Amino acid sequence: MTGAIRLLGTVMSAATADAPSPLPSAVYILGLSVFALGTSEFMLSGLLPPIAEDMGVSIPQAGLLISAFAIGMVVGAPLLAVATLRLPRRATLVTLLTVFGLGQVAGALAPTYEVLFASRVVSALACAGFWAVGAAVAVAMVPFGSRARAIAVMIGGLSIANVLGVPAGAFLGEHLGWRSAFWAVGAASAVALAGVLTRIPSIPVPEEKPRLRRELTIYRDRQVWLAVAVTALSAGGVFCVFSYLAPLLTDVAGLGGGWVPTVLGLFGIGALLGTAIGGRIADAHLFGVMLGGITASTVLLAVLAVTAESPVAAVGLSFLIGVASFFTAPALNARMFNVAGAAPTLAAATTTAAFNLGNTSGPWLGGTVIDAGLGFAATAWAGAAMTTGALGLVALALLFERRGKAPAPRAGLVAVPARGGRDGHQAGPTRCETV
C-alpha cells in the first residue's frame, strides 16, 4: 500500500511538472485522500450489473445509488462548509475521513438495497465536507496564479481513482463480489486518514473568524450562478453516459464483461491526461479551456451515440471523453473561486455541489432514457444535450465578463488569499481570467 501511495504522488507530481513554483506537500496529501473518495464515488459504474442482481433491482434502480452519492454531495457540501466554518481544518478533515470510512464498511455489510442507499448518502455527506474544506485549504496555501494547479492535484486524485480505483473495483466485483470493492475503499480511506494525520499541518481557527453572512453574499452575483449551471451541465452530460458505460460496452458494443475494467481504466487515463493539461493552462486561459473542453465533450458524446455498436469506437471514445471532460475540471473549479473569491469555503462547497448536481441529474436522465426504451446508446445523446447547454452558458458568462456587466465585488468583502499564512486567510487578488 505504501508503494501505491508513492506511485500516486509521483503521477500527480508529474501532472504539475515545470510549474513556476512548487506546491506544498500538503496539497498532494489532499489529492491522495481524494483518490479514496473518488474511487467510492465512481466505482459503481463498473458494479451496477452485480449489485442489481444481488439486490433484486433493475440496472436503472442500481444507477440511483450513484445519484444517491451525488445528492449527498450536493446537500452535504454547503451544509458542512457552514457547520465547520469556524472549526480547525485538520480536525475537520480527520473527522470527515473517519465517517467516510465507516460508510464504506456499512455499504459492504448492507443487507438490503435501502441500507446500501443510506450508506451511500452518509458517505457522500462526509466526502462533500472533505472536498469543501480540503479545496479551500489547498487554494489558501498557494499563490493566486497557482489555484488551478492546486485544484488540478486534487482532481488528479479523482483521475487516478478512475485509472486505478474504478477498474480495480470492477475487477474485485467480478472475481470476489461487489462487496469486496467497498472493503477495499474502506482500507484506502484508512491509509488516507493516516496521511492527513501525519502530513497535514495543524491549521488553527482564524483570529478573525469567518462570518457566514459575509460569505453568503456571493450568491448575489449572477456569475456565481452561471458557474454553478455550467459545472452541473458539463458534469451531468458526461456522467449521463459514464454511469451506464458497463452495460453500454457489453450490451451495445458487444464486448465481454472482462473488458469493462480495461475501458474504465482507459477513461481514467484520459481523465488524468486531461486534468494535467487543463491544470497547466487554465490559470492563463480559463474561458478558452472551458469552451474548448466542453465543445470537444459534446462532439465526442454525439459520435459515441452514433457509433456505440462498434467495439473499437466505444473503447477509443471512452478514452477521449475522459480527456475532454477532465480537461475542463481545473478551469471550472478555478472559475468559481475567482467569482466567489470573498468566500473561499463556500466557493469550494458550491463547486462541489455544482459538480454533483450534474452527477445526480446525469445518471437520472440516463436512467430515464433507458426506461423509456431508447437503449443505452441514447444516454450519449442525452449527455450531449446537457453539454450543449453548458456551452451556451459559458458563452453568456464570457459575454458578461467582456462587457463588464458582471456585478462588481461588494465593498467590505475580504479577498481570497494570495498566500495562506498561519490559517491561510491573508488577502490577495480575486480575479484574473483571459481567453
Q: Is residue 427 part of a domain?
A: no
Alpha helix (H) residue ranges in 204-244: 212-216, 222-242
Integer Cα distance of 86 and 288 in angstroms: 36
199 vs 313, which has greater pLDDT? 313
324: pLDDT strictly greater than 70? yes
Q: Is residue 7 part of a domain?
A: yes
Torsion-angle region of 267 (φ positive above 0: left; ψ -120 to 50: alpha; else: beta) = alpha
With residues binned 3-state (H G I as helix, E B as strand, rest as coil), the percentages for the chain, rounded to 5, are 80, 0, 20
323: pLDDT strictly greater than 80? yes
Domain that holds residue 117: 2-14+22-403
Predicted structure pTM score: 0.67
Q: Is residue 51 part of a domain?
A: yes
Integer Cα distance of 188 and 202 in angstroms: 22
Q: Which amino acid is at 426?
A: Q
Instruction: Give the model confidence (pLDDT) of 101-117 as tens digits.
Output: 999 999 999 999 999 99
Average pLDDT of the chain, as a whole number: 79
Q: Would you state the pLDDT for residue 106?
A: 93
Burial class (CB in 10 A: 0-12, 13-18, 19+), 213: exposed
Q: Is residue 103 part of a domain?
A: yes
Contact 322, 268 (CB under 8 A): yes
Residue with cell 451525488: 70
Q: Is residue 434 part of a domain?
A: no
Q: Is residue 426 part of a domain?
A: no
What's the domain count of the chain?
A: 1
Instruction: Give the model confidence (pLDDT) of 158-203 as tens digits.
Output: 767 767 777 788 888 878 888 999 999 999 899 888 888 887 777 6
Instruction: Give the model confidence (pLDDT) of 223-273 as tens digits.
Output: 889 999 999 999 999 989 988 888 899 999 988 877 888 888 888 888 888
419: pLDDT strictly greater than 60? no
Domain CATH code at residue 67: 1.20.1250.20
Contact 245, 267 (CB under 8 A): yes
User: Quick one: DSSP state of residue 219?
Assistant: G
326: pLDDT strictly greater than 70? yes
Distance of CA 287 to the CA centre of its chain: 19
